[in-house]
Amino acid sequence: MSERDLLMIPGPVEFDPEVLRALGAKTASHVAPEFISTFGRALKRLREVCLAPSAQPFVVAGSGTLAMELAVANLVEPGERALVVNTGYFSDRMATLFERYGAEVVQVRCAPGEVPDVAEVERVLAGGRFKVMTATHVDTSTGVLAPVEALVKAAGRHGVLSVVDGVCATAGETFHQEAWGADVYLTASQKALGVPPGLALLTVSPRALDAWRSRRTPVRSLYADFGEWLPIMEAYEAGRAAYFATPAVNLVCALEVSLGQILREGMEARFARHRRVAHAFRAAWRALGLRMLPVSESVAAHTLSALYYPEGVDAALLGRVREQGVVLAGGLHPQLKARYFRVGHMNVVGPGEVLATVGAVERALAAAGHRAEPGAAVAAVQAELLAAR
Ligand code: PMP
């Protein structure tokens, strides 16, 4: 991949140069006063980005899967019941984690590209004695945006803890953790949060922390135990150093910069920009005659597009797009993997990235023999962007 290629996959994504400079700066001691204040500020900012003023933030070295594991390991005990609202690949992973930690798992499923029916989820919650329910905010394997506000509120009505996997959504899709009553919002650094891979992040409600405090059995993983990390997060936020395991110093510095940029943009403005970008891409897909994997625009994510290859075109398209200077991703959902591809549009995306990507896809499709009027997709993007100003 050339340094000038545009990385338009659903994570990692393009990062802001100021964030990358923070990552490449001289590594500080993890107990140095400047690092203590940087880490403390990052924690406070994470709370603001998740719109969760009462939540406890956790930032731990690891990927998004570790964030999922932290939620599961701390919130369930063997024999307790967990409901997984399953929209695809990463919901399957959540179910696997629950089983690994000894929970009894029930899943509400739907066909790929669809979202589960909230009324059905509510019926299952009503009959289930569940400790926790999970949903994937944006399922990266299908490009589907789950109705998380309704799901979280349904869990709340039944006294069930809610965990939302925001790895492909946080700071890109609208989410009001505290107002909606979500107990855990978990995420990773490498997508809409705008920091290279390597951090697992969670914001945990007081109710979820109480549930963890009243466990009868110890958390089975040492590295994932809130009990080890809570004193560390509290100490750094209070301006003191504390040690359990070495923090990813440079990534935390980069995170502090990125979260600052995100808050300067403003959460609502940032969500709106991701919607505008997604709508511009959708105009292009329509002009190119490409069908999206989500069954309707109302359930389609604003952080990525999942698109079926048109008739006569296969995964070789991705190589052709790469020759045009843009990197896209293949399919991931096990049932449909070879039939679709994905375009990530998170973090520092604007008109320039949309036009470059759509232009590259248009040329690559033409080279693959797909018939579309030259320039029609780019014109559709321009029309959408001008209308949205
Ligand atoms: N959940 C979702 C929705 C994801 O998109 C991903 C990563 N693509 C994960 C969890 C796992 O994150 P990681 O690959 O960073 O472990």
Measured in Å, residue 367 CA sits from the centre of ligand 1 at 33
For residue 154, the model assigns a pLDDT of 98
Q: Tell me if the domain spanning 17-265 has CATH number 3.40.640.10.
A: yes
CA of residue 184 relative to chain centroid, distance: 13
Here the tokens at position 88 are: 């695809």
Can you tell me which residue has the tokens 């930690």?
A: 101
| CB of 261 closer than 6 angstroms to any ligand 1 atom | no
Q: What is the mean pLDDT of each run of 10 residues along the chain (389 residues)?
A: 93 98 97 98 98 98 98 98 97 98 98 96 95 98 97 98 98 98 98 98 98 98 98 98 97 98 98 98 97 97 98 96 97 93 97 97 95 94 92
| CB of 140 closer than 6 angstroms to any ligand 1 atom | yes
Pocket probe mutation, ligand 1, options 168, 184, 191, max atoms within 8 Å of Cβ = 168
For residue 367, the model assigns a pLDDT of 94
| CB of 87 closer than 6 angstroms to any ligand 1 atom | no
For residue 388, the model assigns a pLDDT of 85
Q: Is 125 exposed, middle or buried (0-12, 13-18, 19+ CB in 10 A)?
A: buried
Nearest atom of ligand 1 to the alpha carbon of 190: 15
For residue 284, the model assigns a pLDDT of 98
| CB of 188 closer than 6 angstroms to any ligand 1 atom | yes
Q: Whose CA is nearest to atom 2 of ligand 1?
A: 167
Here the tokens at position 124 are: 């299952």
| CB of 64 closer than 6 angstroms to any ligand 1 atom | yes
Across the chain, which distance is largest between two alpha carbons, in Å?
65
Measured in Å, residue 291 CA sits from the centre of ligand 1 at 24
Nearest atom of ligand 1 to the alpha carbon of 10: 8
For residue 1, the model assigns a pLDDT of 79
Q: Is 176 exposed, middle or buried (0-12, 13-18, 19+ CB in 10 A)?
A: middle
| CB of 11 closer than 6 angstroms to any ligand 1 atom | yes
- Collapsing DSSP states into helix, strand and coil, what is residue 326? strand
Pocket probe mutation, ligand 1, options 167, 195, 202, 346, max atoms within 8 Å of Cβ = 167
Measured in Å, residue 385 CA sits from the centre of ligand 1 at 30
CA–CA dist 245, 224 (Å, integer):
11
Helix extents (H) in 215-350:
226-237, 249-265, 267-288, 316-323
Full DSSP string of 232-259: HHHHHHTT----SS---HHHHHHHHHHH
> Which of 39, 381, 88 minimizes the C-alpha distance to 243?
39
For residue 128, the model assigns a pLDDT of 86
Q: Are 196 and 189 in contact (CB under 8 A)?
A: yes
| CB of 63 closer than 6 angstroms to any ligand 1 atom | yes
| CB of 167 closer than 6 angstroms to any ligand 1 atom | yes
> Which of 265, 267, 234, 259 minimizes the C-alpha distance to 45?
259
| CB of 92 closer than 6 angstroms to any ligand 1 atom | no
Measured in Å, residue 251 CA sits from the centre of ligand 1 at 18
Global pTM value: 0.98
Measured in Å, residue 64 CA sits from the centre of ligand 1 at 5
For residue 2, the model assigns a pLDDT of 87
Measured in Å, residue 363 CA sits from the centre of ligand 1 at 30
> Which of 167, 173, 155, 178 minimizes the C-alpha distance to 68?
167
| Percentage with pLDDT > 90 across the chain | 97
For residue 372, the model assigns a pLDDT of 86
| CB of 236 closer than 6 angstroms to any ligand 1 atom | no
> Which of 188, 226, 224 minimizes the C-alpha distance to 204?
226
For residue 389, the model assigns a pLDDT of 73
Beta-carbon count within 10 A of 75 CB = 27
**DSSP 8-state symbol, 331:** -
Q: Domain map of the chain by residue range? A: 6-10+267-387, 17-265
CA–CA dist 28, 280 (Å, integer):
42
For residue 298, the model assigns a pLDDT of 95
| CB of 168 closer than 6 angstroms to any ligand 1 atom | yes
Q: Whose CA is nearest to atom 14 of ligand 1?
A: 64
The CA distances from residue 210 to 75, 214, 284, 313, 339, in Å, are 10, 6, 48, 53, 45
What class is the 6-10+267-387 domain? alpha beta
CA–CA dist 94, 80 (Å, integer):
15
Question: Which is it for strands 56-61 and 199-204: parallel, antiparallel or unpaired?
Answer: antiparallel
Nearest atom of ligand 1 to the alpha carbon of 68: 10
